[in-house]
C-alpha cells in the first residue's frame, strides 16, 4: 500500500516548510516564484491534492471564503451565529469551498482585518453577518470590487447588494398572534433600542399585529440592550404598570429568559415568548421563534457562488426567509 501524501511529505520533497506549502495552495502570490514552482512540482510528482490544485490554477480561484466569528457574549444568542457558521461550512464544502474564520472587535477593526486578509490570502469573497444601518463594511468591499453576500439586509437600500435574511417582522407577528389566539389582549414587547435594523424589524411585526386587531400598543414597548438582566428589569417595569401585560414578546431569547425570571419571581401568570429558539430556550421550555439558519447559510453560499460564476448566472439576489414559531408553553 502506498504511503499517504501529506503537506509534510510535499514540504520534505520541496525542501520548504509546511507553512510554505500551505501558502502555495492558499495564497500563492505571497510566495517567491522560484519557491512556488518547486512546491508545485512536488505537488505534481507526489500527487498531493492534484485535482484541487489543478482546478485552482485553471479557474484562478482559491475556493476560500472568509467570514467573521462573533464573541460569545452571554453564551445564549452567540449560539445563533454558531449554528449559521456550521451551516455555512457544510454548504461551502458541498460547493467545493472552504471557510476561513476571523474575528474583530468592531466594524473599524473589521475593515482593517479585510485589508490584512486580502493582502495575505487569495480570497474569493466574504460572507458578512449582522448588518445594520450605514454599514461601512459593505461600502468598503463594494468600492474594491470584492465579491460578498450578507446574512442580513442592507436596511437603508434593500437592493444595494446580494443578501439572505430572515423575516423578523413575520416571526414577531406569529408570536403576537399566538398570544392573541390564546386570549391575551395586553401584549408587550421587550426589544433593543430604536435604530437597530433587526430589532426594529421584529418590533414592527408586534406593533402591526396589535393594531390590525384594534389594540393600541402605546406604553407597552420597552427598549434595552440585550441580556438576561436587562430582560428582567424591562419585564419588572412592565409588570409594575397599573394595567400590566399578560403576554410578553421579546426580541431575543436572552431578553425572554430575563423576563421569565421576573415573571416567576413575582409569581405572575404572564406568557413569555423569545426569538431565535436557542438551545437554552428548548431546555427551559420557552416558546420561541426559530430561524431557518441552515437554509440561510446555504442561500448565502449559493448566492456567492453565483456571483463568482459571473454576471451570466441567473436567480434572485435577495432572499427573505420565513421563520417558524416553536410553541412550548401552555399559556
pLDDT at 212: 98
Asked if 142 contacts 114 with a C-beta cutoff of 8 angstroms, the reply is no
Nearest to 147 by CA among 115, 124, 164: 124
Contact yes or no for 229/252 (Cβ under 8 A): no
Q: What are phi and psi of 255, to 5 degrees?
A: -65, -40
**8 Å CB contact between 9 and 43:** no
Which residue is associated with the grid cell 436557542?
278
- pLDDT classification of 1: cutoffs 50, 70, 90: very low
12: its cell numbers: 520534505
Interatomic CA distance for residues 232 and 254, integer angstroms = 10
* Helix, strand, coil percentages, rounded to 5, for the chain: 50, 15, 35
> What is the chain's mean pLDDT, rounded?
88
Q: Measured between alpha carbons, how far is 205 from 174 in angstroms, rounded to an integer?
A: 8
Residue 201: how many other CB atoms lie within 10 Å = 21
- What pLDDT does 51 receive? 45
pLDDT of 40 reads: 85
pTM of the model: 0.79
**What Cα–Cα distance (Å) separates residue 216 from each residue in 79, 152, 247?**
35, 30, 15
- Stretch 242-251: mean pLDDT, rounded? 97
- CB 256, CB 156: distance < 8 Å: no
pLDDT-above-70 percentage for the chain: 89
Stretch 86-96: mean pLDDT, rounded? 89
The answer to whether the CB of 25 falls within 8 A of the CB of 51 is no
Reply yes or no on whether the pLDDT at 326 is more than 80.
yes
Which residue has better confidence, 100 or 8? 100
Percent of the chain with pLDDT over 90: 63
* Lowest mean pLDDT across 31-35, 61-65, 316-320: 61-65
List b or e across 102-125, with b for residues whose CB sees 16 or more CB atoms inside 10 angstroms.
Answer: eebeeeeebeebbeebeeebbbbb
E strand spans, 161-236 = 163-166, 187-191, 221-223
Is there a contact between 256 and 282 (Cβ–Cβ < 8 Å)? no
Q: What is the pLDDT of residues 166-220, one digit of tens each?
A: 999 999 999 999 999 999 999 999 999 999 999 999 999 999 999 999 999 999 9
Amino acid at each position: 500500500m502506498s504511503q499517504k501524501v501529506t503537506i509534510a511529505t510535499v514540504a520534505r520533497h520541496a525542501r520548504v516548510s509546511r507553512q510554505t506549502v500551505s501558502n502555495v495552495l492558499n495564497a500563492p502570490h505571497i510566495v517567491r516564484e522560484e519557491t512556488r514552482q518547486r512546491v508545485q512540482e512536488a505537488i505534481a510528482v507526489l500527487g498531493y491534492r492534484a485535482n484541487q490544485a489543478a482546478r485552482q490554477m485553471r479557474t484562478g480561484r482559491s475556493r476560500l471564503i472568509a467570514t467573521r466569528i462573533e464573541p460569545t457574549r452571554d453564551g445564549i444568542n452567540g449560539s445563533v451565529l454558531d449554528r449559521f457558521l456550521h451551516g455555512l461550512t457544510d454548504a461551502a464544502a458541498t460547493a467545493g469551498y472552504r471557510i476561513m474564520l476571523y474575528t474583530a472587535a468592531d466594524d473599524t477593526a473589521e475593515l482593517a482585518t479585510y485589508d490584512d486578509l486580502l493582502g495575505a490570502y487569495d480570497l474569493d469573497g466574504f460572507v458578512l453577518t449582522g448588518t445594520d444601518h450605514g454599514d461601512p463594511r459593505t461600502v468598503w468591499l463594494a468600492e474594491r470590487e470584492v465579491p460578498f453576500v450578507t446574512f442580513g439586509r442592507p436596511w437603508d437600500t434593500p437592493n444595494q447588494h446580494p443578501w439572505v435574511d430572515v423575516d423578523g417582522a413575520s416571526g414577531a407577528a406569529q408570536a403576537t398572534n399566538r398570544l392573541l389566539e390564546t386570549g391575551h389582549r395586553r401584549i408587550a414587547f421587550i426589544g433593543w433600542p430604536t435604530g437597530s435594523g433587526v430589532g426594529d424589524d421584529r418590533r414592527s411585526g408586534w406593533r402591526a399585529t396589535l393594531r390590525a386587531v384594534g389594540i393600541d400598543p402605546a406604553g407597552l414597548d420597552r427598549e434595552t440592550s440585550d441580556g438576561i438582566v436587562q430582560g428582567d428589569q424591562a419585564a419588572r417595569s412592565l409588570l409594575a404598570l397599573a394595567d400590566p401585560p399578560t403576554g410578553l414578546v421579546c426580541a431575543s431569547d436572552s431578553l425572554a429568559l430575563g423576563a421569565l425570571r421576573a415573571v416567576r419571581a413575582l409569581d405572575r401568570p404572564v406568557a413569555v415568548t423569545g426569538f431565535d429558539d436557542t438551545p437554552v430556550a428548548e431546555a427551559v421550555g420557552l416558546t420561541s421563534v426559530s430561524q431557518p439558519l441552515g437554509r440561510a447559510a446555504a442561500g448565502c453560499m449559493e448566492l456567492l457562488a453565483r456571483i463568482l460564476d459571473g454576471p451570466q448566472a441567473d436567480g434572485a439576489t435577495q432572499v427573505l426567509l420565513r421563520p417558524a414559531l416553536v410553541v412550548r408553553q401552555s399559556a
